[in-house]
Chains A and B, each alone.
Chain A
Amino acid sequence: MMSLPRLNTILATCLITTLVLWIVIPFAMALMWSMVDPGTSWSYPDILPPALSFERWRIMWETSSLKTAMFNSYSLAPVAGMIAIILGAPTAYAFGRLTFPGKGIAQILMLTPIVLPGFVTAVFFASILVSLGFHSRYFAILLGHVVLFMPYAVRILSVSFSQVNNEVVNAARDLGASPFGVFRAAYWPAIKPGLFAAYLIVFILSIEEFALAFVIGSPTFTTVPTILYSYLGYDFIRPNAAVVAIVLVVPNVLLLIVLERLMQSANPANVSGKG
């Protein structure tokens, strides 16, 4: 009979191969579609595109609203990340370091935006905006993103706050440090990775967010996801959609790798120095 480790290796190899194909083939096809030369079409029975060029990328950059959409997306995300952290940090501090009646319920309530269907939130937030006569799409989507993604920031930050070492806090106080001095010596080193991780997760989720941007933004305010949707909908233009899909996914994957590292260094064992 085959030994268990050997069986594991064989099964794992098969599954890894399948998963690589599962991920690599779709992305390779998107990349090829984005590079199909506009002059020659790629159709059955050609397995590969007959001619490759960056022409489509140039056309998209120069003539479509991709540039505006990228500007909008990348001017929303950093601001949303900042505000979510600034507004969420006090709540995270309370969750991470204080005990109070109703804390469990408060922590569950904080998850409401994650549990409610995104399109329900988007449509009825839009309805409120109509009643209020609020017309700035940028600020409306910004507020929406801050509220929708603050739960993620609060969750990460409350873990960071709970990792602050009380002994260091007390030692700093005993040595006569000012409140700012205590913060710098005891809090900052423990919460720094969590702060960056919380900022990045809100940034990434904001770039990807579709429901609010679509319901509130369309048709005049475009973001990268809404422009991708427009190429997937009524006028389906596969090569254009391929360009936008890559523009949407590649920066976020890179940011996610950074996030993964930060989350590891936000690990309790590393921060408290007790591990």
Chain B
Amino acid sequence: MPNGLRIILLLTPGLGLVMTLMIWVLYRAFAQSFGLYNFNGDDLLTLSHWQGMFQNRRYWNALEWSGYIAVVSATLAVAVAYPLVIWLRRPFKGSFLLSALIKAPYFVPGLVAAFLLINVISYHGFVNEFLIWIGVWDQPVRMQNDKNGYAIIGLQVWKQLPLAFLLLSGAVAAIPDNVLHAAQDLGAGTWDRFRKVVLPMTVTAMQASLILIFIGAAGDFTFQAVAGPTRENSLATLMVTYQGASYSDWNGAAVIGVTLMVLSLLGSIVFAALVQIVAKLMERV
């Protein structure tokens, strides 16, 4: 059998099936956002669904909200993971247990994580009871569904920190010891070694962590629906509202879905570029 045909046959059931379905789904989202596959009327290639959405305050609010949550969550998760990774580079007593504990939340399903958090911060939750017990507060404080989205950001960081930790520790572990020793012998201090050796060698892992966390947080439905402020929508919750039983506006939902994908793409490009620029600047300073 010719080699090319053999490879195509091998890839068809796996990659072939995945690509067929994903391209179909993507095409469907774009087509519906421009008025095709209209379940409520005639199919008509039109910009009206986009125009309608652009005049809708809820759409802009959701876009802004998802962007805000995603930027803050990605930055915070990586900012917390980075020092931990560098600290745990060399094993010491307790470091194994520590990294296992840091990784644990990755394996807790999002819905369960959200439920656990609202239990802890609820009106009768542990935080309230504890702070009253030690006398910091006189009476319980309402923290659930806070309007700044701190609960969602906290959940994102809790759940996504392990991802940043895993990616960054892979990159840091790959830095050969003798490179660091050589830098030390040449008189580089801790800070110089960080910005001239560690940072440039972990740029890719940092970009990957920021991008993956950004995409995950931008597309969040669960945390927003369970722990988010009731007055806000994320793009995903707004999209499901439009598609759901009360509206059945699939074309409107498609506009929101495409927006979410564009946001993910733009966020990824911006984060990747920023990390690259910062690393270059740090090397020169």
Contacts and interface: CB of A to CB of B under 8 A. Distances in A.
A91 B111 contact: no
User: Which secondary structure dominates where chain B touches chain A?
Assistant: helix
Which 8 pairs across A and B sit closest by C-beta, in order of nearness?
A117-B219, A91-B14, A26-B116, A19-B101, A12-B94, A208-B109, A90-B10, A87-B13
A47 B120 CA distance: 12
A123 B240 contact: yes
A124 B25 contact: yes
A241 B116 CA distance: 10
Nearest to A219: B245
Interface stretch (B49-57, B166-174, B221-229): B221-229
B74 to A, nearest CB: 14
B81 to A, nearest CB: 13
Interface residues of B, number: 74
A138 B250 CA distance: 22
26 contacts: A9-B92, A16-B98, A19-B102, A25-B120, A33-B119, A43-B124, A44-B140, A86-B13, A88-B13, A94-B10, A109-B18, A113-B22, A120-B236, A120-B261, A121-B22, A123-B29, A124-B32, A125-B21, A127-B250, A128-B24, A210-B111, A225-B109, A225-B111, A238-B119, A245-B115, A248-B112
Nearest to A85: B14
A232 B105 CA distance: 20
Contacts of B108: 249
Interface stretch (A51-59, A146-154, A170-178, A262-270): A146-154
Interface string B110-141: 11101111111001111011001100000010
Contact of B37 (A127, A147, A208): A127
B213 interface: no
A233 to B, nearest CB: 7
Contacts of A98: 7, 10
Interface string A142-161: 01001100110010000000
